Structure 1
Amino acid sequence: MSTPENVTFLSRECRLAGLFFLPLDSAPNRDGAAVIIAHPWTSIKEQSPANYARVLTKAGFICLTYDAAYQGESEGEPRNLEDPYHRVEDIKCAVTYLIGRKEVNSDKIGVLGICASGGYAPFAAQTDLRIKAVATSAAVCVGTMARRGFDQGTTTPEILKSQLQAAAADRNSDLTGHKVDIVHLLPEKFEDAAGLPASFQDLASYYRTPRGNHPRATNTSIPRSWDLMANFDAFVFNDMLSPRPLLMITGTMAATKWYSEEGVKKAKQPAEVVVLEGMTHADLYDKVDEAGAKCAEFFGKYLI
């Protein structure tokens, strides 16, 4: 992988920290085709986005990864906020940044969203016609997750109500100063995940081990994120992507496989689900040779 350039760009009032990757010298010539790679919830640019950038730069694509507003090295207060609409704005602002780079062909810009960004990427492209092709890996819609669960059916209306009550208390703390606990999505140590559902053990095996652990990825979120996520729906207007293409990659062992299936079901052609044998959700974060090759093939076909 080429050594990335540290870059910044604005998303609303926040300056985002990004990494700009040029293709390897030995890579095929893609005539300035570029791919924005957006990270999962509670993640950062140096984790799964960098893994996909490694594959795509070898295939000849310019890549841009970045930390979302309120997270990682990017600006934004309050910290650890997950705002779906600002996350979508981040992608659109990343497109604007790429259009300003002389190395980039502005007619050949695609986006790859991983996990939560697998919801944000299609949502952004539904109305931003500058995005010519959309791929996702291990996609999740955070709104559907808040309403129905990471594993389908694991969140109830009662659970969501309690999360919204915590969000209200979090907002009131701006006036009262009363401390509201941050939400830890995973235990601090991998061994403490033993009693959790298999899907969370899968995530902990990446974020809480040397596979993917990073000091800036705390896997925490503030409670007021839930009242922003709860009525968000990433895929409901996926038909607006057509005739631009949609590729959604998932795994046979991924607890989130159903999200990709629903996302493509709501799209028009060309749209495809690719299911990789034996892959879990977290496997698609770092075991990316096959998924990355599918993305390279996809963007090579449509960013022309």
Structure 2
Amino acid sequence: MSSPQKVTFLARNWKLAGHFYPPAPGSPNRSGAAVIICHPWTSIKEQSPANYARVLTQAGFTCLTYDAAYQGESEGEPRDLEDPYQRVEDIKCAVTYLVSRQDVNSDKIGVLGICASGGYAPFATQTDLRIKACATSAAVCVGTMSRRGYDKDSSNLEILKTQLEAAGKDRNSDVGGEKVPIVHMLPPKPEDAPEGFPDSFRDLMNYYRTPRAHHPRATNTCLPRSWDIMGNFDAFAHIDMISPRPLLMITGTKAATKWYSEDAVEKAKQPKELYVVDGLTHADLYDHVDEAGAKCAEFFAKSLV
């Protein structure tokens, strides 16, 4: 895959840094079909989105990846804020950017969301009819995760209360209140993981905190005030509104987050599909993308025609 073109576009007046990938030479002619690929929470465009872009451009699709506002190379203050509604706006503005390009067919734009963006992409698609097809990989809803955690039958409300108290202190620091430490989502190195560190977080640590995907701009940090924006967000409450446009949700048999995709697909209306990759964990779907990427290519080939 050749190096992508560096591009920028605006989302609520923040300039977002993107990578524009044209179809690979000799790939099938998709008549200007394009896919926006959105990164996980605390991640950047150079990680999992680039892996999926490699597969999709080889299948003939134009791809756009970008850093969310407040993160990576994109503008936005305060830094390291995770705002679901801004994240959704980023996607819609990415659509507008593609519409502006002569080498993209405005009637053939799809979106692929990974991890947290597996919640943001369907949420954006529900009300942005310019998006003709939506796919997700290892999807989660950050709001549901804030309230319930990783496990389907768990409750995270006591922890969320503590996080909301920290969010309030974080906001107060803007007017002279006590500074609240930024949240480090993962240990700096695998050997720093405490005893009993959950397997679901160890899975992420073994991706982000090792040579497998380490990148200096992916700090895996988040501002405490993010939680009072995420706390009542629900990506999938109205996922039925995507219909009659198609929805594909990909997960792995070993993914701790598998139930998020299962529940979302159950709520959605046809056409919809749950595709489960055998043997893969949540983080495996970030870089073990041959099967998941091929499935996405098949899906968009049928959907963006």
TM-score, normalised via structure 1 length: 0.99
Task: List per-residue Cα deviations over 1:68-102 (Å, max 9, x = no partner).
Answer: 00000000000000000000000000000000011
Q: Deviations over 1:123-153 (max 9, x none)?
A: 0000000000000000000000000002334
Q: Which residue does the alignment assign to 2:163? A: 163
Q: Does 2:131 correspond to 1:131?
A: yes
Matched ranges for 1:223-238 at <5 A:
223-238=224-239
| Aligned partner of residue 71 in structure 1, secondary structure | coil
* Structure 2 unaligned regions, length at least 5: none
* 1:2-17 equivalence runs, <5 A: 2-17=2-17
Q: Which aligned pairs between 1:66-85 and structure 2 lie closer than 5 A?
A: 66-85=66-85
Shift of the alpha carbon at 1:176? 1.6
Partner of 2:43: 43
Find the aligned partners of 1:119 and 1:22 in 2 and give their Cα distance: 26
One-letter amino acid of the counterpart of residue 29, structure 2: N
Residue 207 of structure 2 corresponds to: 206
- 2:23 aligned partner: 23
Q: Which amino acid aligns with 1:110?
A: G
1:7 counterpart SS class: strand
Counting matched residue pairs gives: 304
Q: Deviations over 1:147-172 (max 9, x none)?
A: 00023345432111000000000000
Residue aligned with 2:71, SS:
coil
Partner of 1:287: 288
Cross-structure match for 1:117: 117
Q: % of aligned pairs identical?
A: 75
**Which residue in the other structure is 2:304 paired with?**
303
Distance in 1 separating the partners of 2:185 and 2:170:
17
* SS of match in other structure, 2:202: helix
**Contact preservation (8 Å) 2:169, 2:179:** no
Counterpart residue type for residue 173 of structure 1: S
SS of equivalent to 1:73: coil
| Distance in 2 (alpha carbons) for counterparts of 1:286 and 1:251 | 13
Aligned equivalents of 2:135 and 2:156: distance in 1? 30
SS at match of 1:296: helix
| Aligned match of 1:243 | 244
Matches of residues 100-111 of structure 1 in structure 2 within 5 Å?
Answer: 100-111=100-111
Question: C-alpha distance in 1, partners of 2:62/2:185?
Answer: 33
SS across alignment from 1:6? strand
Structure 2 Cα separation of the partners of residues 194 and 28 of structure 1? 49
Q: Is the 8 A contact 1:151 1:256 kept in 2?
A: yes
| Gap regions ≥5 residues in structure 1 | none
Shift of 1:266: 1.0
Aligned pairs (5 A) from 1:47-58: 47-58=47-58
Give the aligned partner of residue 220 of structure 1.
221
Closer/same/farther in 2, CA of residues 232 and 99 from structure 1, 3 Å limit? same
For the residue of structure 1 that corresponds to 2:224, the secondary structure is coil
Deviation at 1:190?
Answer: 1.3
The one-letter code of the counterpart of 2:261 is S
State TM-score, norm by structure 2: 0.98
- The amino acid of 2:206's aligned partner reads S
Q: Deviations over 1:198-239 (max 9, x none)?
A: 001100010000111100000000000000000000001011
- Which residue identity does 2:183 align to in structure 1? V
CA contact (8 A) 2:4 2:22 kept: yes
1:188-199 equivalences under 5 Å are 188-193=188-193, 195=195, 196-199=197-200
Shift, 1:194, TM fit: 5.8
Contact 1:39 1:48 in 2 (8 A): yes
Label 1:79 to 1:275 Cα distance change in 2 as closer, same or farther (>3 A). same
In 2, Cα distance between equivalents of 1:296 and 1:82: 29
Q: Distance in 2 between matches of 1:159 and 1:233?
A: 18
CA RMSD of aligned residues (A): 0.9
Q: How far apart, CA to CA, are the structure 1 residues paired with 2:57 and 2:194?
A: 37
The whole-number CA distance in structure 2 between the counterparts of 1:294 and 1:22 is 20
- Conservation of the 8 A alpha-carbon contact between 2:146 and 2:156: no
Residues 85-123 of structure 1: CA deviation (Å, up to 9, x unaligned)? 000000000000000011100000000000000000000
In structure 2, distance between residues paired with 1:137 and 1:194 = 28
Q: Write out the 4+ residue segments of structure 1 that deviate beyond 6 Å after TM superposition.
A: none
